[in-house]
């Protein structure tokens, strides 16, 4: 009965979409691995900075810990640029294999760490994988899946990342330091093995004039099994449409030049992409996740930090699942508008609570065991319904096909730079102006995002990935 429901489903479980679902799920294994590395950091940093709990022979200072936090962003920038260049040079499939290499190095460096420099290098390597996944995975998924389910399958990227972060935090809090790398290093190796089953994307093969391989790849991802002449005709029509779209775009010139980035359409798309990166970062959700413990200490909550982190991790997953369900039903723009609006309201309200906690003598004892956590959960939930996962879906869809890989690399490189800036300035800003002012500043960015998305961002639901429609 369940199989019949899946077969008749109008969603991602329809028979013709099954291979696309499996390919998207398999390629996001590496984002789950990266999420484990990110989630491992916060609880382990606390242990490394506590002499009585440190599993290593050296103690990590506050300054060193801040650099460990920031180096993942510099690694992300490197990954953005590197994989942005490699994506068209060696192909999507080869880049997918390459994503696992720095992540394996990350766990090896963690295991053999004898000084802080090992951990610096580990975080930098982990950042390279993370930066690469943001460039490679959305483009790979976007090029192999049907437009009607593209939003849902691309959002798997964020779901697996958040699930990995929750797993990493749990492992870091409860499993001995040297056991964790031994447990998780098998996952990127398994990822490499699984990916040998899936071919290169049809669009990239067409760009390389490998028409026979492109047709076989298209047949594989479409789950095409000719049972009647009309099935063959339908498949041929779809493949011809894809081939003509790719060839028309390719015929302009084989090489991407700087002039391609200064066309009216390219400038418009890049400006929207950069603005989405600004909204994603400076609305503050990533900073809140990194400094959850400091925030709860500032407002004198009674909740244990590990409990907070676990609950927030579950909330992230719930929000992302909600986005996956809704993104192809209600569209990208609607989710982004809802997300920025609700984030703005919750951030402003949390800022008001922080103001009373920091600046007044109001007795908040009846509320501090649950209300701060509720505000934080609502902010993170709102972010994961739209701003965090949908941003990357839209980025891939708005960029012209000709500059998509390099344009995505530019935008995501700026995302890493913006994130590095925010992570470095957030604690001193909070110390200088208070948590309330910090929250209100993020709320203002969310409000700006709502205005921009409402007025300037087009709806990209169902848009062809291989036609440069204006």
Query: pLDDT tens-digit profile of 333-379?
Result: 999 999 999 999 999 999 999 898 888 888 887 887 788 889 989 99
User: pLDDT confidence of 7, banded at 50, 70, 90?
Assistant: very low
Nearest Cα to Cα of residue 337 among 407, 422, 276:
276
User: What's the rounded Cα separation, in Å, for the pair 386 and 339?
Assistant: 5
User: pLDDT confidence of 253, banded at 50, 70, 90?
Assistant: very low
Q: What angle do CA 125, 129, 132 make, to 5 degrees?
A: 135
The alpha-helical segments, DSSP class H, found in 91-201 are: 92-111, 116-144, 150-174, 179-184, 186-195
Residue with tokens 């900075």: 49
Percent of the chain with pLDDT over 70: 91
pLDDT given for residue 1 in this prediction = 38
Q: Which CATH class is domain 253-470?
A: mainly alpha
User: pLDDT confidence of 228, banded at 50, 70, 90?
Assistant: low
pLDDT given for residue 174 in this prediction = 87
Quick one: average pLDDT of 446-458? 95
Nearest Cα to Cα of residue 84 among 409, 407, 413:
409
User: pLDDT confidence of 2, banded at 50, 70, 90?
Assistant: very low
The yes-or-no verdict on residue 4 having pLDDT over 80 is: no
Q: Which of 222-236, 317-331, 379-393, 440-454 has the lowest mean pLDDT?
A: 222-236
The first and second tokens of residue 319, run together, are 């929000």
What's the distance, Cα to Cα, between the start and end of the chain in Å? 45
In the three-class reduction of DSSP (H, G, I as helix; E, B as strand; rest coil), residue 118 is classed as helix
Residue with tokens 């984002």: 31
DSSP symbol at 58: S
Across the chain, mean pLDDT equals 85
User: pLDDT confidence of 442, banded at 50, 70, 90?
Assistant: very high
User: What's the rounded Cα separation, in Å, for the pair 207 and 251?
Assistant: 10
pLDDT given for residue 380 in this prediction = 92
DSSP symbol at 463: -
The yes-or-no verdict on residue 320 having pLDDT over 90 is: no
The yes-or-no verdict on residue 252 having pLDDT over 60 is: no
| Other beta carbons within 10 Å of 229 | 8
10: CB partners within 8 A, 6+ apart: none
pLDDT given for residue 293 in this prediction = 67
Higher-confidence residue of 45 and 175: namely: 175
The yes-or-no verdict on residue 281 having pLDDT over 70 is: yes
Q: Highest mean pLDDT: which of 7-16, 106-115, 132-141, 152-161?
A: 106-115
pLDDT given for residue 242 in this prediction = 83
User: What's the rounded Cα separation, in Å, for the pair 155 and 323?
Assistant: 7
The first and second tokens of residue 18, run together, are 């099954």
Query: Are 165 and 313 a contacting pair, CB within 8 Å?
Result: yes
DSSP symbol at 383: I
Question: Distance between alpha carbon 412 and the CA centroid of its chain, in Å?
Answer: 10
pLDDT given for residue 258 in this prediction = 79
User: pLDDT confidence of 425, banded at 50, 70, 90?
Assistant: confident
pLDDT given for residue 469 in this prediction = 46
Higher-confidence residue of 228 and 3: namely: 228
Q: Is the dihedral angle over the CA atoms 9, 133, 306, 425 positive or is it negative?
A: negative
Residue with tokens 């344009």: 407
Nearest Cα to Cα of residue 358 among 431, 291, 265:
431
pLDDT given for residue 122 in this prediction = 96
Higher-confidence residue of 311 and 62: namely: 311
Assigned architecture for domain 10-198: Up-down Bundle (1.20)
pLDDT given for residue 93 in this prediction = 94
């Amino acid at each position: 009965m369940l199989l019949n429901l899946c077969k008749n489903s109008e969603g991602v479980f329809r028979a013709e979409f099954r291979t696309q679902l499996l390919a998207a799920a398999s390629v996001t294994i590496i984002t789950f691995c990266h999420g484990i590395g990110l989630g491992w950091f916060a609880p382990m940093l606390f242990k490394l900075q506590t002499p009585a709990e440190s599993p290593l022979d050296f103690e990590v200072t506050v300054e060193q810990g801040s650099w460990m936090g920031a180096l993942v962003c510099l690694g992300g920038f490197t990954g953005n640029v590197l994989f942005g260049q490699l994506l068209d040079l060696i192909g999507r499939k080869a880049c997918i294999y390459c994503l696992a290499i720095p992540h394996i190095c990350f766990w090896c460096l963690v295991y053999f760490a004898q000084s802080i420099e090992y951990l610096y290098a580990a975080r930098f390597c982990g950042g390279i994988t993370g930066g690469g996944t943001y460039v490679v995975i959305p483009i790979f998924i976007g090029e192999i899946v049907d437009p009607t389910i593209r939003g849902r399958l691309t959002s798997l990227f964020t779901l697996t990342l958040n699930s990995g972060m929750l797993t990493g935090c749990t492992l870091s809090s409860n499993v001995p330091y040297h056991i964790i790398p031994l447990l998780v290093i098998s996952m990127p190796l398994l990822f490499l093995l699984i990916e040998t089953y899936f071919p290169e994307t049809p669009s990239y093969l067409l760009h390389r004039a490998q028409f026979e391989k492109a047709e076989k790849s298209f047949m594989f991802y479409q789950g095409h099994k000719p049972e009647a002449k009309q099935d063959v005709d339908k498949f041929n029509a779809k493949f011809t449409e894809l081939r003509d779209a790719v060839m028309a775009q390719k015929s302009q010139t084989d090489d991407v030049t700087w002039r391609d980035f200064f066309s009216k359409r390219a400038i418009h798309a890049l400006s929207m992409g950069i603005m989405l990166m600004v909204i994603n970062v400076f609305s503050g959700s990533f900073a809140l996740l990194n400094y959850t413990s400091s925030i709860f200490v500032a407002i004198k909550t009674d909740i244990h930090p590990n409990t907070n982190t676990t609950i927030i991790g579950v909330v992230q997953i719930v929000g992302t699942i909600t986005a996956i369900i809704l993104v192809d039903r209600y569209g990208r723009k609607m989710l982004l508008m809802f997300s920025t609006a609700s984030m703005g309201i919750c951030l402003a309200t949390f800022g008001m609570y922080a103001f009373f906690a920091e600046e007044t003598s109001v007795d908040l004892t009846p509320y501090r065991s649950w209300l701060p956590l509720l505000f934080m959960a609502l902010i993170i939930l709102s972010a994961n319904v739209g701003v965090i996962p949908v941003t990357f879906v839209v980025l891939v869809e708005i960029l012209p096909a000709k500059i998509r890989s390099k344009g995505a690399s530019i935008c995501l490189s700026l995302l890493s730079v913006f994130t590095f800036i925010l992570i470095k300035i957030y604690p001193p800003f909070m110390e200088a102006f208070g948590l309330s002012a910090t929250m209100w500043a993020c709320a203002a960015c969310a409000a700006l995002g709502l205005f921009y998305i409402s007025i300037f961002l087009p709806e990209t639901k169902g848009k062809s990935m291989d036609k440069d429609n204006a």
